[in-house]
Structure 1
Amino acid sequence: MKKSAWLPAVIAPVVVAGAIAAPALANAADTPLAGSHPTAADVIASVAKSSDAQYSGKLSQTSDLGLPELPTGSGGSSLEGNASDALSMLTQSHTARVYVDGASKQRIQVTQQLAEQDLVRNGSDVWTWDSKQREATHVTLPKDTATSLEHGTTTPADIAKQAIDAITPSTSVSKPTSTTVAGQRAWQIVLTPKSSDTLVGRVELAVDQQTGLPLRATVLAKGQSDPAFQVGYTSLSYGAPASRLFDFTPPSDAKVTTKDLSDAEHHAGHRGHAGDRGAAPTTTGTGWATIAELPAGSADTSSLDADGSALLGQVTKAVDGGRAIQTSLVSVYLTDDGRVLAGAVPVSSLVAAAK
């Protein structure tokens, strides 16, 4: 991993997913929601029924977190690649094409100026492709995996799943209201945290009335009326995409990396140690105020070159025991001993949790 790769590894997941939580919603309805007057529980439950949906669409993502807009890539410096791309995801708008044929076939295409990034899943085979770097990765997943795929963007379904899975009693849920997204009639529910310790003001989810497919997710920071983060479909058509879209062969001149995870379940006992750079974060707090912490060594900034150090100085500020970023929605704290703490909370909460 590049020394600069710590930044996207921490910031991007927290901004788009890890800061979102929702209450337990039970008593699911088994009938379509169109034309009825569903409860919020009915709407949330309908999302699970969309896992076998077949559709194609165009996705738009916007972010307004109070960060300055930064260039992508920097001519061979340590910012080139992952870190720069992750920052651009937080400061710029992006669009993607999405093709889905049930739970095991998906393709996401993120097109940038003179470049394209693809993620293609066909059963247990997953390919990622970066046309600018001429690099491809082939991952073999465990059988019957339900892994959700993300590559350079996040779909409304990803955020809705986080909201459903993070079950807490600390959220107010509105009654559904009718809206339209990408030409589809949808039910919108609003999730509002009761906690005063979070930066999140509310999360708005729009779910297709007929299929249960999440069509748009909007996250607003506390005290703000404009979205800090929003991702939603601008066009959508149901039906199976062409099967060829889920086949991928890398160009002959591509650098290809392979990863076989087909027997990953047999090695579960070897993951999560503090010294493992791939270790899962530990968490403190609950609900909307949850703080994730990566162990010492996760944010080794000592080897950053001049450009990398300049970027670090531009987007972070010195605080007690390290450096920190606080956006309107999420904070990240890099301790002097190399730990990384992040959450939808003020920096002061991260500094206190690190002691």
Structure 2
Amino acid sequence: MPRNEPTQVTDGWDGGRSPGRRKAVRYAVPVAVAGVAAATIGLVPAFAGSGSPDLPKISAQDLIAKVAKSDVQQLSGTVRVSADLGLPSLPGGGAGGFGGAQDGGKGGDGASAAPQKKLMELASGAHTLRVAADGPEKQRVSIVDKAAEYSLVHNGNEIWAYDSGSNTAMHSTAPDAGRPGKQHRAPKDLPGGLKDATPQDLAKQALKAAGDTTSVTVDGTAKVAGRDAYQLLIKPKQAASTVGSIRVAVDAANGVPLKFTLTPKSGGAAAIDVGYTNVDFAKPAASTFSFTPPKGAKVVDGDKAQAKTQREHGKDLPSRKDVKDAEKDMGGLNVLGKGWTSIATIKGDGSGLPSGKDQGAGGDAGKFLDSIGEKVHGSFGSGRVFSTRLVNALITDHGTVYVGAVDKQALIDAANAAK
């Protein structure tokens, strides 16, 4: 068979506005399997085998169609994720470990088992996840730390979240449970809340951006988790984008994305790198999705806890009218540009961020903002740019916000054009 070469470039490809493109985001492995848009730091040795396999030649369009037609609903394996997004350190330190730092590791009211907390922990550093799926009603993801383990288990109408560090378990009922004819599904803020940590989910988001602003190439082959894979290379054509390239390793046999790597245009380590270190597409054992709280574990009723929170804090939450009034006051959210250089903007109310020169309560906050934000000027006036390796934000002294995966000059140009 002829060796696949990186010659299939699809500059100007229509982004899949064809039926195949519309299906390109349908990945059969449920998105509830795992999740976080997290990722990377040179994990190539952990994923790549020795040498590149010889595979039949394939075009980028056909490879994307292969991903779209993939109907894998059963798998188990280990996913390695790490993040190097260049986020600034916040005063007081970041999120705690698996032991429930915010409640002293005692579990508190079950906060240490709440999935939302894990999102913050997975936003940086390296982590290992064990994942399993058997259709839309059974998923499990375990985040393995050196000292503890955190697991989310969805089995039919039941959802368990367990933090071994605090020995706390949270039990919830899946949406639609008890409703005739309705399929149970994991809620958005549980397994779905830990979303975008598998290569499938991240590849889906990348393919959504493919269009006339994108170059898509089949760039050779690789061995990932012991399986033969094609490498799909996605590059923005727009110079102002902070994204250098996205590389997706696609299983040659079944079309499942096995590895996702996003490298910033500035170079260095990947900002997002997620990949299977091992994967098995056989049906997982039924016991994989069974969960019984360990002896002595504190068990929290997640449904009651949520209802209690709504009762206690519901009156403090903004009403729909309040939200609409706030959007009107801010001028609403607007998106400038298209593709990789889209910039979201929210019009300010005339009051900007505090400065380090300010006296009183705002002084300390202003000094901190001065330390992480770069002062910029333009015909729009002045403001600060806050930067990470991928996303930059400009907040003008009038309070208007411009944010996107674009360079600093693109934000200044957008502010100048909108003044």
TM-score, normalising length from structure 2?
A: 0.59
State the match for 1:115 in structure 2.
148
With over 3 angstroms needed to count, the CA separation of the structure-2 counterparts of 1:352 and 1:124, relative to structure 1, is farther
What amino acid sits opposite 1:346 in the alignment? D
State the match for 1:290 in structure 2.
342
What amino acid sits opposite 1:205 in the alignment? V
Q: Provide the C-alpha distance between the structure 2 equivalents of 1:221 and 1:349, rounded to a whole number of angstroms.
A: 16
State the match for 1:39 in structure 2.
59
Shift of 1:113: 3.8
Shift of 1:291: 3.1
1:264-300 Cα offsets, whole Å, 9 max, x none, are: xxxxxx79954699xx976433111123467989xxx
Q: Provide the C-alpha distance between the structure 2 equivalents of 1:150 and 1:187, rounded to a whole number of angstroms.
A: 30
Q: Provide the C-alpha distance between the structure 2 equivalents of 1:125 and 1:294, rounded to a whole number of angstroms.
A: 40
State the match for 1:62 in structure 2.
82
State the match for 2:16 in structure 1.
24
State the match for 1:52 in structure 2.
72
Do 2:150 and 2:163's aligned partners in 1 also have CA atoms closer than 8 Å? yes
1:224-280 Cα offsets, whole Å, 9 max, x none, are: 1542211101111221112222234556623332269xxxxxxxxx79954699xx9
Are positions 1:140 and 2:174 aligned together?
yes
State the match for 2:221 in structure 1.
178
State the match for 1:149 in structure 2.
192
Shift of 1:83: 9.5
Q: Provide the C-alpha distance between the structure 1 equivalents of 2:321 and 2:175, rounded to a whole number of angstroms.
A: 17
Structure 2 gap segments, 5+ residues each: 1-13, 22-53, 104-110, 177-181, 308-319, 355-360, 377-381
Q: 2:302 aligns with which of 247, 257, 266?
A: 257
Q: 1:208 aligns with which of 226, 233, 251?
A: 251
What amino acid sits opposite 1:284 in the alignment? L
Shift of 1:163: 2.0
1:111-150 Cα offsets, whole Å, 9 max, x none, are: 2243332232334654444444636363533545697835
Q: 1:73 aligns with which of 96, 99, 106?
A: 96
Shift of 1:336: 7.6
Shift of 1:178: 1.7
Are positions 1:105 and 2:150 aligned together?
no
Q: Provide the C-alpha distance between the structure 2 equivalents of 1:332 and 1:95, rounded to a whole number of angstroms.
A: 31
Q: 1:247 aligns with which of 267, 290, 314?
A: 290
Shift of 1:38: 2.1
Which stretch of the first structure deviates more once superposed, 133-142 or 40-49? 133-142
Do 2:20 and 2:68's aligned partners in 1 also have CA atoms closer than 8 Å? no
What amino acid sits opposite 2:15 in the alignment? P
Shift of 1:353: 5.4
With over 3 angstroms needed to count, the CA separation of the structure-2 counterparts of 1:336 and 1:310, relative to structure 1, is closer
Shift of 1:352: 6.2
Let me know the Cα RMSD of the aligned residues.
4.5
Q: Provide the C-alpha distance between the structure 1 equivalents of 2:275 and 2:293, rounded to a whole number of angstroms.
A: 29
- Give the aligned length: 311
Shift of 1:338: 8.1
Which stretch of the first structure deviates more once superposed, 98-107 or 311-320? 311-320
What amino acid sits opposite 2:258 in the alignment? L
Q: How does 1:86-105 map to 2 (within 5 A)?
A: 88-105=121-138
Please say which structure displays the higher CA radius of gyration: 2
* SS in structure 1 of the partner of residue 254 of structure 2: coil
What amino acid sits opposite 2:404 in the alignment? G
* SS in structure 2 of the partner of residue 231 of structure 1: strand
State the match for 1:263 in structure 2.
none
Are positions 1:199 and 2:271 aligned together?
no
Do 2:221 and 2:230's aligned partners in 1 also have CA atoms closer than 8 Å? yes
Q: How does 1:336-347 map to 2 (within 5 A)?
A: 342-347=403-408
1:156-193 Cα offsets, whole Å, 9 max, x none, are: 11111112233431101113522110001111110111
Percent identity, please. 31
Query: Relative contact order, CA 8 A, sep 6+: which one is greater?
Result: 1
Do 1:108 and 1:151's aligned partners in 2 also have CA atoms closer than 8 Å? no
Do 1:89 and 1:152's aligned partners in 2 also have CA atoms closer than 8 Å? no
State the match for 1:10 in structure 2.
none
Q: Provide the C-alpha distance between the structure 2 equivalents of 1:290 and 1:351, rounded to a whole number of angstroms.
A: 14
Which stretch of the first structure deviates more once superposed, 111-120 or 56-65? 111-120
Q: How does 1:219-238 map to 2 (within 5 A)?
A: 219-224=262-267, 226-238=269-281
Q: Provide the C-alpha distance between the structure 1 equivalents of 2:333 and 2:169, rounded to a whole number of angstroms.
A: 28
* SS in structure 2 of the partner of residue 174 of structure 1: strand
Shift of 1:51: 4.2
With over 3 angstroms needed to count, the CA separation of the structure-2 counterparts of 1:49 and 1:353, relative to structure 1, is same
With over 3 angstroms needed to count, the CA separation of the structure-2 counterparts of 1:120 and 1:177, relative to structure 1, is same
TM-score, normalising length from structure 1?
A: 0.68
With over 3 angstroms needed to count, the CA separation of the structure-2 counterparts of 1:194 and 1:346, relative to structure 1, is same
Shift of 1:203: 0.5
Shift of 1:343: 2.4
